[in-house]
Structure 1
Amino acid sequence: MKYYPIFLELKGKDCLVVGGGSVGARKAATLEKCGANVKVISDRFSPRFDDLKKTTICLEKKEYEKQDVKGMFLVFAATNNADLNQQIKNDASMLNILCNVADAPDNSDFLLPSIVDRGDLIVAVSTSGSSPAMAKKIRQDLENYFGPEYAQLLGLMGNIRKKLLSSGQASNENKAIFHTLIEKGILELIKANDEININAVLCDVLGRKYSYQDLVSSRSDE
């Protein structure tokens, strides 16, 4: 295995993207979605950044300088200038900061996988830089397999778990409950939007105190 797969907690972490094109915009948007403090530096920004002006992303219109990488948790070199990308990578390496260089996997400290985002379900696909097109194809296949119902199921399961723990239920007893819910086809019922039978399953397994409507609304209130 060439790379070590890992999911990073980026909430509140300072991340720098250098580059105002579509690649930089994609990277910045994903970082912001994960809760990072994102700064993007470029001497000009493409229209792809227009929507990002409404987010918490900091856009700084200027030339890149060596000190820009200081204090960053992650750095992304996403310009269309190979020499500048290399300089950014070198500056980050001098400070032991991990850097991803756009379209240069062999010169990056880490790669960005193709992602299937279904709420709490994140499926990441990488071909270790060998074929981004193949990674995209696999991602598309997985998107068809893992539909939006998986996000709804995991949101429901998460709230059930919280309610069980708050009622004093031991965490090691929850495993059997979740297995039973899955075996009773709750995923398929969610996909079919069959709330009557979802509630019937919840009542059968957990009791009348567990309502699908209440559990879903408590998720949306967070």
Structure 2
Amino acid sequence: MPVYPINLNVQDRLCVVVGGGAVGARKALLLVRCGARVTVVSPEVTDALRPDIDSGAVCWRARGYCSVDLAPGPFASLQEGGAPEETASVSGAVFLVIAATDNPAVNARVGADARRRGVLCNIADRPEACDFTLPAVVSRGDLTITVSTSGRSPALARKLRKELETLLGEEYAVGLRLMGAVRKKLLGEGRDPETHKIQFRRVIDGGLISLIKEGRFAEVDRLLLDALGEGYTFDSLMKAV
């Protein structure tokens, strides 16, 4: 099934992961890294989650999944004689949920609850039941490259990710930070945005990434001078970001 590629902004959004095993932990930690407010619902969690739970980056509900885990509102204590589904919920509106338990019935229940509440849902290993799939990811600083096979072969996606990881070193992270600083400085000087495009191409096409990879920073400075003029040097720009 063809998928529509999109990058979600989850900064300060409430995201729920049902399942605290290796798969759930991996999904939860990536959400934390992207700035989400993460709640994990699981009777037990893997050790990989413990530091983030201890620091407060992850909220752990140490129990099985309840339908109200996807309901907006404050978390409430169980009242005498009350059912968990009636009295407990996470704080705020849930943006997305990931079902990553080893129990298909629980995962299906999460999916049904998510559809009823209009919450984006991913069910591990069941792309046909998902609102979104999670691609293989290569990250170099702020550079994010994703590989998707539309759920047909996660193994092939992993292979391609590993190949990309060998091709793309930290020079891309450094180059992106540098170009971000260049863009910020140009905008601050009030230059014509259309002119920026030409200048950016001159820097990138001039071999910026290769020069950074090889540590030829004097040549980086010459490239910046030729493309942008005085006041643009590697050291000064990197100190500004």
> Normalised by the shorter chain, which TM-score bucket?
over 0.9
Confirm or deny that 1:95 pairs with 2:117: yes
The alignment partner of 2:166 has SS state of helix
Aligned partner of 1:187 in structure 2 is 209
Q: What is the TM-score with the length of structure 2 in the denominator?
A: 0.87
The alignment partner of 1:50 has SS state of helix
One-letter identity of the residue aligned with 2:183: R
Match of 2:220 among 198, 201, 205: 198
Q: Is the CA contact 2:17–2:24 (under 8 Å) kept in the aligned structure 1? A: yes
Aligned-residue identity in percent = 42
Deviations 1:47-76 (A, max 9, x none): 121232336121221221111112210011
Match of 2:234 among 195, 212, 217: 212
The alignment partner of 2:220 has SS state of helix
- Paired residues, number: 219
| Range that drifts further, 207-216 or 131-140 | 207-216
Aligned partner of 2:198 in structure 1 is 176
Offset, 1:185? 1.3
Give me the whole-angstrom Cα distance separating, in 2, the residues matched to 1:145 and 1:214: 28
Deviations 1:4-39 (A, max 9, x none): 111111111110001110111110111111111111
Confirm or deny that 1:161 pairs with 2:183: yes
Q: What is the TM-score with the length of structure 1 in the denominator?
A: 0.94
Name structure 2 gaps, 5 residues minimum.
72-92
The alignment partner of 1:106 has SS state of helix
Q: Is the CA contact 2:199–2:227 (under 8 Å) kept in the aligned structure 1? A: yes
Give me the whole-angstrom Cα distance separating, in 2, the residues matched to 1:107 and 1:204: 53
Aligned partner of 2:69 in structure 1 is 68
Which of 1 and 2 has greater Rg? 2
**Aligned residues: CA RMSD:** 1.3
Which segments of structure 1 move beyond 3 Å, counting only runs of 4 or more? Answer: none
One-letter identity of the residue aligned with 2:105: D
Q: Is the CA contact 2:96–2:119 (under 8 Å) kept in the aligned structure 1? A: yes
Aligned partner of 2:45 in structure 1 is 45
One-letter identity of the residue aligned with 1:58: C
Name structure 1 gaps, 5 residues minimum.
none
Give me the whole-angstrom Cα distance separating, in 1, the residues matched to 2:205 and 2:2: 37
